[in-house]
Amino acid sequence: MHIDKDLVAASATPLVLAILEDGESYGYAILKRVRELSGGELEWTDGMLYPLLHRLRRLGYVTTEWRTPKEGRRRKYYAITDDGRSALEEHQRQWATVTRALGDVWRGSGGMMIAPGEA
């Protein structure tokens, strides 16, 4: 299934914020998690994650820190802030409304037939 580019872009921010709410992480791990969660359906160009993360940082939704874990290489870790959590809640509200509306309309229209002669 190919998911529309605009839809991928719109869901990127809440997805990343939600992943970071489970605990701080770095770019590569965030992307792996996105693939896991979507069963590989959400196709991101890897590089695009970074401008997005920088935007979240500028807006104060995440903080960053360069760290070298015991075994591994130096990485830039991102952690969610309180502002980020409230932004995530707002996103959740919006998405809930959208999915509810879509669900309602699809359930409703499923039983309806287009009148002959029209359309």
Partner 1 sequence: MSNVESQVAEWRAYVEHAPNVNGRDVDELEGHLRDQIAELDAAGLTADEAFIVAVRRIGDLDTLSREFAREHSGRLWKQLVLRDHDEPTRETSGVFEALLFAVAAAVAIQIARIAAQFPEEQAGWLLRNVSLFVLPFLAGYFARRRRLSLRQSLLTAAPFVIAAVVINLYPFVEGSATELLVAAHLPVLLWFVVAYPYMSGVLRSHERRMDFVRFTGEWFIYYVLIALGGGVLLALTSLILEPAGANPERVIEWVLPSGAAGAVIVAAWLVESKQRLVENMAPVLTMLFTPLFAVMLAGATVVYAVTGFGAAFDRELLGVFDALLVVVVGLVLYGISARDPSSPPGWTDRIQLVAVVSALALDVIVLAAMIARIGGLGFTPNRTAALGLNLVLLVSLSGTAWLSTRFLAGRSTFHPLERWQTAYLPIFALWAATVVAALPPLFGFI
Q: How far apart are CA 77 and CA 75, in angstroms?
A: 6
Nearest CB to partner 1, comparing residues 54 and 100: 54
Closest separation between CB of residue 31 and partner 1, Å?
8
Residue 62 three-state SS: strand
Contact with partner 1 (CB under 8 A) among 57, 79, 85, 91: 57
As given in the structure block, the two tokens for residue 46 are 């890897």
Contact with partner 1 (CB under 8 A) among 23, 39, 51, 116: 51
Closest CA to 16 of 38, 1, 3, 4: 38
Q: How many angstroms separate the first and last alpha carbons of the chain?
A: 28
Site string for partner 1, 58-87 (x = CB under 8 A): xxx------------xxxx-----------
Which residues sit at the interface with partner 1, rule CB under 8 A? 26-28, 31, 45-48, 50-52, 54-55, 57-60, 73-76
